[in-house]
């Protein structure tokens, strides 16, 4: 998952925006850890208006916590995840999620495995896998600060 974190930092750098280290909360990629992290974030004096979870499971926990705290999705807080699991479009509201191109992920994983089985070090390449952002109803457009 370090690769996802590196990608997130790169996206901020590419957009010429400061990375919000002070808004990072850690979890263990489960819904309960997303629930707990959302609680900590929303208890801040200046809570975020959007939360990106490193997988859909954590995002489901985030969404539950936000609803239990009386916050409307996405009117009060947007939520997004990563993996685009089948449940992402079935929950209410449907979750915006990054959908990795799993065929490419599988192809790269298989090549690494074959290299290792043949006694070769895996080919060095950037661990970037094509992906698509599936925008659904859990996110709202960014509004300029007033």
Give yes or no for residue 90 having a pLDDT over 50: yes
Mean pLDDT across 83-89: 96
Please report the pLDDT score of residue 11 as a whole number: 86
CA–CA gap between residue 68 and residue 63 (Å, rounded): 9
Give yes or no for residue 146 having a pLDDT over 60: no
Please report the pLDDT score of residue 103 as a whole number: 72
Give yes or no for residue 102 having a pLDDT over 80: no
Give yes or no for residue 80 having a pLDDT over 90: yes
**What does pTM read for this prediction?**
0.82
| Residue at token pair 């929950």 | 91
Mean pLDDT across 118-127: 74
């Amino acid at each position: 998952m370090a690769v996802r974190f590196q990608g997130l930092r790169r996206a901020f750098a590419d957009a010429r925006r400061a990375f919000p280290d002070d808004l990072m909360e850690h979890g263990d990629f489960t819904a309960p850890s997303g629930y707990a992290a959302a609680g900590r974030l929303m208890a801040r004096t200046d809570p975020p208006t959007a939360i990106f979870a490193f997988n859909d499971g954590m995002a489901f926990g985030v969404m539950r916590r936000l609803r239990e705290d009386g916050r409307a999705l996405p009117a009060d807080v947007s939520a997004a995840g990563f993996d685009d699991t089948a449940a992402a479009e079935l929950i209410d509201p449907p979750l915006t999620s990054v959908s990795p191109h799993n065929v490419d992920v599988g192809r790269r994983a298989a090549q690494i495995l074959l290299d290792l089985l043949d006694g070769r070090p895996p080919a060095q390449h950037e661990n970037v896998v094509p992906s698509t952002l599936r925008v659904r109803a859990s996110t709202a457009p960014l509004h300029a600060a007033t």
